[in-house]
A and B are shown apart, each in its own frame.
Chain A
């Protein structure tokens, strides 16, 4: 029992990262129905931005976090403008392949320009372990969890309360109708990419601090896992993505703790398939009725 709770605590940190990434997937999917394969690589670029800011400019960790978010937001908007906007009316599978192309470009561009080797992320915040009631928890884990929750609440506020958030929801429901109501879908889509990419950037800096090592290919696997998390939660649903992220993170940590680390990816996919079979549109996804 003790180990399980301890692993739950560890899983929460990983889950926060997945949740932050999954939010970006789910928002973009909700608005333009695109699996943005390059999302994991934006997370990687966020981590690299944090690395350079901390290592060469020795700035405060929170400055690094915020600038990484701004940097990734701009990057997300630029990528959308250059690569996805021309394909707005193309078949969806074409946009998907373009997203994969962008992902390859970012990964290999980074390897080419800055080298493919893994590097140590600077320890901007000294790690301290606390023991509360027999459970070990580090300040970094607390920081990740708190940052993730603050960002999620902020996102929820933006989407539910702001005018742009309202426009986002409108475009997600029906783009043509939203356009008739005077919403410019291009602005909304850019804004969505900015929000999602900012969260990915934050996740990148946090994971750098947590795992201490970053490399240009680090975004691939977490990107796919986060997408799985978004699907498990019900793609297009914001609370679903957060829940899915935590679920996948905790599941992975627990499977690893039981000594089945070789099967941790398989466990994630088995859970995915089972959830999809029982609830074909995820936990919080809306079931759309087919009309003939």
Chain B
């Protein structure tokens, strides 16, 4: 128990330190709009990718439909904050986005989670495309043109706090009894079922949880970028979230955060290269995958529990 408290205290200290450093740099004027934009994008990507990692890395269900749930959150915010232009409206829209995403995830998940592997991937991809086509054709979402001038309530502190909250929630979920049930489904669903685990229920739980975090990511994206269009939530966006998960190591939250950061840096550095940017990005991706097939960190997680066990021993 005491070990847990100390480990949690270290995490809290890291989070506060991160905030203070960021705040200090902002106050010192070292962060211009461009860098802030890059950092916030990394933050939103962390939220999206940790949610997807829960589905793919921990529950072992290959979902390619993350952008669809993100679109739900983004459009909930876009529509509601234009009616209620206040921080209250923003948080309300986030809640509503999460609820709609959860309902959509249940509707999509109950039938499709019976499918396996690549079949599930293609079915979730289809479902997410259907969401996008619906948004594309609705009046309230302003069709293919998308929505503009969404009020900006998601400043970087809001995004930072949401990154911390979603990461803590997912980490706690993974380390709980529920998390172990979910991981047993990943390892061998027949064995898990034989041990009395309701595999459908836990697959769905991970899927719904992932969808809810995707909606949070979508809300923050809409409110920070202030413009959204159905084209922002296509298959390619689901894939770019998937890339973060696999690059970091599916099944490692630390890896996801690291990979989101690394890709953010690559992206920022390559901004000056124009058309060549995506060519280099693609080459980097192929080389990273060929030489690091398990992802950057595999299933390794940063943990402070061992530090406390042996006093002074360095963290792995």
- A interface list, Cβ under 8 A from B: 29, 33, 35, 83, 86-87, 90-91, 93-98, 100-105, 107-109, 111-112, 116, 220, 224, 227-228, 231, 235, 262-263, 265-266, 268-270, 272-273, 276-277, 280-281, 290, 292
Contacts A93-B56, A104-B281; A231 near B133 (Cβ below 8 A)? no
In the assembled complex, the CB of B239 is this many whole angstroms from the nearest CB of chain A, namely: 6
Distance between Cα atoms of A265 and B283 in the complex (Å): 31
- Whether A83 lies near B119 (C-beta < 8 A) is no
- Whether B282 lies near A104 (C-beta < 8 A) is yes
Contacts of B263 in A (CB 8 A): none
Give the residue of A101, A105, A108, A220 whose beta carbon is less than 8 angstroms from that of B275. A108
Give the residue of A93, A116, A277 whose beta carbon is less than 8 angstroms from that of B62. A93
Contacts of A109 in B (CB 8 A): 279, 282
Does B123 belong to the interface (CB within 8 Å)?
Answer: yes
Does B265 belong to the interface (CB within 8 Å)?
Answer: no
Name which residue of chain A comes closest to B122, CB basis: A231
Distance between Cα atoms of A83 and B289 in the complex (Å): 9
- Whether B115 lies near A276 (C-beta < 8 A) is yes
Does B293 belong to the interface (CB within 8 Å)?
Answer: yes
Distance between Cα atoms of A112 and B275 in the complex (Å): 6
- Whether B126 lies near A269 (C-beta < 8 A) is yes
Binary A-proximity of B170-197 (CB < 8 A = 1, otherwise 0): 0000000000000000000010000000
Distance between Cα atoms of A276 and B114 in the complex (Å): 10
- Whether A262 lies near B275 (C-beta < 8 A) is no
- Whether A263 lies near B137 (C-beta < 8 A) is yes
- Whether B289 lies near A97 (C-beta < 8 A) is yes
Distance between Cα atoms of A290 and B235 in the complex (Å): 31
Distance between Cα atoms of A91 and B57 in the complex (Å): 12
Does B227 belong to the interface (CB within 8 Å)?
Answer: no
Distance between Cα atoms of A289 and B282 in the complex (Å): 39
Does B152 belong to the interface (CB within 8 Å)?
Answer: no
Contacts A87-B290, A104-B278, A262-B136; A227 near B122 (Cβ below 8 A)? yes
A-B contact pairs, 22 of them (CB 8 A): A91-B293, A91-B294, A94-B246, A95-B289, A97-B243, A97-B246, A97-B285, A98-B286, A102-B286, A103-B282, A104-B281, A104-B282, A107-B278, A108-B275, A108-B278, A112-B275, A220-B236, A228-B122, A269-B130, A272-B123, A276-B112, A290-B190
- Whether A101 lies near B289 (C-beta < 8 A) is yes
Does B301 belong to the interface (CB within 8 Å)?
Answer: no
- Whether B129 lies near A266 (C-beta < 8 A) is yes
Distance between Cα atoms of A93 and B186 in the complex (Å): 14
Contacts of A228 in B (CB 8 A): 122, 126
Give the residue of B119, B129, B239 whose beta carbon is less than 8 angstroms from that of A265. B129
- The secondary structure that dominates the B interface is helix
- B interface list, Cβ under 8 A from A: 56, 62, 111-112, 114-116, 118-119, 121-123, 125-127, 129-130, 133-134, 136-137, 190, 235-236, 239, 242-243, 246-247, 250, 275-276, 278-279, 281-283, 285-286, 289-290, 293-295
In the assembled complex, the CB of B152 is this many whole angstroms from the nearest CB of chain A, namely: 31
Name which residue of chain B comes closest to A112, CB basis: B275
In the assembled complex, the CB of A90 is this many whole angstroms from the nearest CB of chain B, namely: 3
Name which residue of chain A comes closest to B121, CB basis: A35
Distance between Cα atoms of A268 and B127 in the complex (Å): 11
Name which residue of chain A comes closest to B137, CB basis: A262
Contacts of A97 in B (CB 8 A): 242-243, 246-247, 285, 289
Distance between Cα atoms of A33 and B279 in the complex (Å): 26
Name which residue of chain B comes closest to A35, CB basis: B118
In the assembled complex, the CB of A22 is this many whole angstroms from the nearest CB of chain B, namely: 13
Contacts of B293 in A (CB 8 A): 87, 90-91, 94
Name which residue of chain A comes closest to B239, CB basis: A100
Contacts of B62 in A (CB 8 A): 93
Contacts of A265 in B (CB 8 A): 129, 133
Distance between Cα atoms of A96 and B275 in the complex (Å): 24
- Whether A98 lies near B290 (C-beta < 8 A) is yes
Contacts of A116 in B (CB 8 A): 275
Distance between Cα atoms of A292 and B295 in the complex (Å): 30
- Whether B137 lies near A94 (C-beta < 8 A) is no
